[in-house]
Structure 1
Amino acid sequence: MKLLLGLVGAAFAVAAHAQQEIKVGVIYPLTGSAASVGGELRNALELAADIINNGAAGVPDLPFSQGKGLPNLKGAKIKLVFADHQANPQTGATEAERLITQEKVVAIVGAYNSAVTATASQVAERAGIPFLNPESSSASLTQRNFKWFFRTTPHDDLFVHNAFEFLSELQAKKGIKPGRIVTLNENGLWGTESGKLQAKLAPDYKYELVKQVSYPAKTTQLTSEVQALKAANPNLVLQSSYTADAILSMKTYKELGFSPDMILANNAGFTDTEFIKTLGKDAEYIITREVFALDLAKTKPLIKQVNDLFNAKYKINFTGNSSRTFTGLMVLADAINRAGSTEPEAIRKALAATNIEGKNLIMPWKGVKFDATGQNTLGQGILVQVVGGQYNTVWPFAMASRDVVWPMPKWDQRK
């Protein structure tokens, strides 16, 4: 009888412990060509989990800043279970399977690379596990009629529209004409879709797209591609590249003396901390689409308050990538808390009913509210330009912290 009571007590102890810990799987590129950005995303997730579990004094507008865990689950703590997809779609799918079947996670956050998000979320969809995607922007990800997939970031259809809207306003309000346009993109899901959208929208906005060039996603040289761009004699390059190839392209531009009036990038590698850190002054004047900028803190103090916590812990600032990842986990935690349950269906229903106000986010968005496809309808994009080693908001013009520098100085005219 004592043995039986002991076993029952042990079972209750295990159940109580399980209730205190909610396992969330996270899939990111922690090694390989995208390891630098993957490391920053991991830091952002760890900060979010630490705030949820232990609090953030002096940040009252941030959900869970009291640090009492998830109140509706008796103070249960978030436990992150990391998986490394190495920027490989098949590895991402395998790791998603492992997180679900072996680690028994209640939901998954990931996966930065759109091609990996596509495969990993398919696994989650088949298993009936919520998949929260904070950063991947391929428009097709929310066009699959998935029930368990939710994306907080705006997608490339919006971002590419933003780029052309910026060019139109630049011409109308500042008299700057973009001229002949070329595109350069990696040939994965994200880059390919971006290039197609740019080709589709350029004539709609009455711009001349004279050439499109793509390259292998993990290339180690871009000489022939840059020579092809140079031969087209463009004024503007629209570029979609991850970190290693964004840096490689800039080095190759300089080596070959390719100096268009402007490079307008589609985020990703151009907003990784390593981009400016590695290139230094050669990163100057690039314009890139973004979803976040530290200079927006002048009208939204929450940005500085949370970035100060991030910088104190990791000695780096938030980027558009890491800020979105941080926000993604906060949104998922909000849904799990409202669900008051770790049952997948309860979490899915809570995610579908999400309605977070912009004042509670570090993003310059109106909020988070998902449509029937799982897409957040309240996100928006901005454009930033690297000047003085910092990302400065330049569009929308009403939000700008400084004027656009256009054209970029030629390589031999830079100090």
Structure 2
Amino acid sequence: MATAALLATTALTGLGFGMSSARAEDEIRIGVIYPLTGAAASTGVELKAAAELAAAMANKEIATPDGLVVGAGMPHLKGAKIKLIFGDHQGNPQVGATEAERLITTEKVVALTGAYFSNVTATASQVAERYGVPFLNGESSSASLTQRKFKWFFRTTPHDDLFVTNFFTFLEEMEKKTGKELRTLGLFNENTLWGNETTKLQVKLSDERKFKITEKIIYPAKTTQMTSEVQRLKAANPAVIMQSSYLGDAILSMKTYKELGFSPSMLLANDAGFNDSEFLKTLGKDGEYIISREVWALDQAERNPLIKKVNDLMRERSGVNFNGNSARAFTGIAVLADAIDRAGSTKPEDIRKALQETNIPASGLIMPWKGIKFDASGQNELGQGIIVQVQDGKYMTVWPFDVATKDIVFPMPAWDKR
């Protein structure tokens, strides 16, 4: 066990003072902020499990598949061990900011990661920016997060500018493929930072690409009823619903769609709740045929064997497969561990410099990306998206068409025809 003096030295190192490298017995303390209680607790549990898997590989507690970049063994820090210190933001931006401050000032973490909810990532990363501590975001997709000219913020996942653009490209290609028009849209998005920004992007691209919005609904996050909203969507009769919902809202909407007999030709979901493991556990066959943007899919293992190898470890440890949320959380910790190891230091400035110099090839990832390399804003410029559809209880890649493993079931069958 570390002595009090050693702990004190480690704490100072975490705030940028003291030694430039850690001794073997030192801990590298990383703060991780997720929703561990509240409406998104089940999501948070999976994100936590994914982060812990990456840390276990970095610490050589379990074997790392060949080629995976995860800072295995932390050789440039003499085998120092990563210790994840978790904070629970409960889905509340102010709590997220408070937890970020606690982790920095009391827990003496050398870097932060999280926070899944874009509006919480926004506040927590502001705290990190103020203290000069690196914040690596793996899961939040609001485009504005990397438009703030922050020095200490880095994001591995693609953002909604890319995802929403992909939606419209996909719809245009579907029109060519099927010969059917998909020009009428119903927008149905929650009202936090993520949903509001997504709505603005969808309106902008609808205008640019000559789509018509027949109904636009921005509903209260964590709502307990959607009857009136779904009735409005049904009356507007769009060919495609574009929906941004976290888990509870996604499940509630599907139950309401069925109850009111509303079945558009296509439900195009913006990931999040629709791809959470609890979505299909709760809805079963009623979750079939939804189409969603995604950044990860198990069926891409045929193209990248690392996907299956790492997913098998996740399933062995947690009992569930990765999904797009947890795969991004795993990747975030892996990239941060690699950067800290390359820095050979626990000083925040050295970690920031190593993040700036990150250049991980596609072959080192479980994500279907071209790699990870950060631009001047801190955004990974090599990320890309795919689109999946639930078929027989599994998320199958259906777009881009050249990497699809299944044909799209279209239109979505009516409730009484399933």
Given the two structures, how large is their TM-score scaled by the length of structure 1?
Answer: 0.95
Gaps of 5+ in 2: 10-21
- 8 Å contact 2:70–2:335 — kept in the other structure? no
Distance 2:177 2:257 in 1: 30
**Does 1:300 pair with 2:283?**
no
Match of 1:48 in 2: 54
Q: Sequence identity, in percent? A: 66
Aligned mates of 2:310, 2:193 — CA distance in 1: 32
Moved more, 9-18 or 386-395: 9-18
Matching of residues 249-264 of structure 1 within 5 Å: 249-264=253-268
The one-letter code matched in structure 1 to 2:288 is E
Question: What does residue 31 of structure 1 align with?
Answer: 37
Separation (CA, whole Å) in 1 of partners of 2:62 and 2:29: 21
The answer to whether the 8 Å contact 2:57/2:63 transfers is no
Aligned residue for 1:104, secondary structure, equals coil
Measured after TM superposition, the shift of residue 58 of structure 1 is 6.7
The residue number in structure 1 matching 2:223 is 219
**1:206 alignment counterpart:** 210
What 5-or-longer segments of structure 1 have no aligned partner? 1-8
Q: Which residue is equivalent to 2:111?
A: 107
- Correspondence for 2:270 among 263, 266, 275: 266
Task: Establish whether residue 379 from structure 1 lines up as the match of residue 383 from structure 2.
Answer: yes
CA–CA distance in structure 2, aligned partners of residues 145 and 208 of structure 1: 34
Equivalent pair of 1:287/1:383 in contact (CA under 8 Å): yes
What pairs with 1:145-294 in structure 2 (closer than 5 Å)?
A: 145-294=149-298
Measured against aligned partners, the alpha-carbon deviations of 1:368-410 in whole angstroms (never above 9, x if no partner) come to: 0000000000000000000000000000000000111110110
Secondary structure at the residue paired with 1:304? helix
- List 4+ stretches of structure 1 deviating above 3 A: 9-19, 55-58
Q: Secondary structure at the match of 2:39?
A: coil
- C-alpha distance in 2, partners of 1:258/1:96? 42
Aligned in 2, Cα 1:10/1:332: closer, same or farther, shift over 3 Å? Answer: closer
Q: Give the distance between the partners of 2:270 and 2:4, measured in 1 at CA.
A: 54
Letter in 2 for 1:299: R
Over 3 Å counting, the alpha-carbon distance change for 1:104 and 1:216 in structure 2 is same
Q: CA deviation at 1:172?
A: 1.7
Q: Secondary structure of 2:59's match?
A: helix
Structure 2 distance, partners of 1:349, 1:12, is: 26
Structure 1 residues 64 and 154 mapped into 2: Cα distance closer, same or farther (>3 Å)? closer
2:129 and 2:152 in contact (8 A); partners too:
yes
Residue of structure 2 aligned with 1:57, choices 52, 60, 63: 63
Taking a change above 3 Å as real, the CA distance of residues 352 and 261 of structure 1, as seen in their structure-2 partners, is same
Cα distance in structure 2, aligned partners of 1:148 and 1:256? 48
- Which residues in structure 2 correspond to 1:318-333 (within 5 Å)? 318-333=322-337
> Given residue 365 of structure 2, which amino acid in structure 1 is its aligned partner?
L
Report what 1:339 is aligned to: 343
Assess, with a 3 A threshold, how the Cα gap between structure 1 residues 100 and 13 changes in structure 2: closer, same or farther.
closer
Tell me the residue number matched to 1:404: 408
Shift of residue 56 of structure 1? 4.1
Q: What CA distance in whole angstroms lies between the structure 2 residues aligned with 1:10 and 1:210?
A: 65
Q: Higher mean Cα deviation, 177-186 or 101-110?
A: 177-186
Q: Deviations over 1:62-86 (max 9, x none)?
A: 1358x52x11011111000000000
Which protein has greater RCO, CA pairs closer than 8 Å, 6+ apart?
Answer: 2
Match of 1:143 in 2: 147
In the aligned structure 2, how far is the partner of 1:121 from the partner of 1:28? 13
Equivalent pair of 1:168/1:205 in contact (CA under 8 Å): no
Instruction: Report the alpha carbon displacement of residue 235 of structure 1 after superposing the two structures with TM.
Output: 1.3
Letter in 2 for 1:27: I
- Answer yes or no: is 1:21 the counterpart of 2:27: yes
- Aligned residue identity for 1:158: L
| Cα pair 1:19 1:73 within 8 Å, conserved | no
Tell me if the contact between 2:57 and 2:64 (Cα under 8 Å) persists in the aligned partners: no
In the superposition, relative to structure 1, how do residues 258 and 111 fare at CA in structure 2: closer, same or farther (>3 Å)?
same
8 Å CA contact retained: 2:246, 2:274: yes
| Cα-to-partner distance string for 1:227-254 (whole Å, 9 max, x where unaligned) | 1111111111000000000000000001
Letter in 2 for 1:330: A
Q: Which amino acid aligns with 1:260?
A: P
CA contact (8 A) 1:110 1:134 kept: yes
Alignment partners' CA distance in 1, 2:34 and 2:4: 36
Tell me which moved more, 15-24 or 71-80: 15-24
Q: Which amino acid aligns with 1:263?
A: L
What is the CA-CA distance between 1:11 and the residue it aligns to? 3.6
C-alpha distance in 1 between matches for 2:126 and 2:63 = 39
Q: Confirm or deny that 1:361 pairs with 2:365.
A: yes
Tell me if structure 1 keeps the 8 A contact 2:23–2:80. no
The answer to whether the 8 A contact 1:55-1:64 is kept is no
Cα separation, 1, equivalents of 2:352 and 2:8: 26
How far 1:179 sits from its partner (Å)? 3.6
In 2: Cα distance, 1:218 partner to 1:132 partner: 27
Deviates more, 1:222-231 or 1:93-102: 222-231
Aligned residue for 2:186, secondary structure, equals strand
Please report the TM-score for the alignment, with normalisation by the length of structure 2: 0.94
